[in-house]
Amino acid sequence: MHLERKLQKDSSRMKNTRLRHAEYYGMTETFKKFVCQSHITEKARKRIKDQLKNQINAIQRAPNGTELIKQLQIYNSMVIGIHNYYQIATQVNASLMPIQYQLTQVERHRFKYLSLKKHSKGYRITDKGIRPYLKSEMTRYINDYPIIPIGFIRTRTALMPKWCL
């Protein structure tokens, strides 16, 4: 039995990152005077945009209020997962803001009948994952439930974990 592993032509060669950019795990890195500048790759941005647009379509097609809240929770968990994965890229905000603008346009057109609002009258903060996003002006509400903005993200410093003895 012969085992074969197919290598991708893009990622299977050695690269000098001082001269060119390097792509891996959906991020692009370039060095400018020994400082790393990392972005989200174009392929990953397209995938993120398509997934979130599909989820917006699912929210629009929700038959009742409970299904609508479930679909909104799925959308918010997708956004939080994207933020957790890509927050170590140094230029993550610059990479995600064009997606935020495009998704805002899609939301405005798709959620006309759902009364998309800028402010909530009475949403109580019970979920700790959503709490930091409520400070943003980009957060919108449907039925007093928040929609987390994809563009509200800050770079987190990539540090080695501290081990406790």
- Which range, of 26-35, 89-98, 100-109, 128-137, averages the lowest pLDDT? 26-35
Please indicate whether residue 72 or residue 9 has the higher confidence score (pLDDT). 72
| 6 has a pLDDT exceeding 80 | no
- Which amino acid does the sequence have at 150? I
Q: Over the stretch 84-106, which tens digit does the pLDDT of each residue have?
A: 999 888 888 999 999 999 999 99
Model confidence band, residue 117 (pLDDT cutoffs 50, 70, 90): confident
Q: Note the pLDDT of residue 165.
A: 47
Q: Note the pLDDT of residue 38.
A: 82
Please indicate whether residue 43 or residue 5 has the higher confidence score (pLDDT). 43
Residue boundaries of the structural domains of the chain: 42-147
Which whole-number Å values give the CA distances from 98 to 7, 60, 101, 125, in the listed order?
32, 22, 5, 28
- Which range, of 14-23, 58-67, 125-134, averages the lowest pLDDT? 14-23
- Which amino acid does the sequence have at 76? N
**Is 1 strand, coil or helix?**
coil
Instruction: Please name every residue paired with 27 in a beta bridge, in sequence order, or none if there are none.
Output: 24, 40
d(CA 127, CA 68): 17
Q: Which two tokens stand for residue 3?
A: 């085992």
Please indicate whether residue 65 or residue 50 has the higher confidence score (pLDDT). 50
d(CA 6, CA 48): 26
Enter the pTM of the model: 0.80
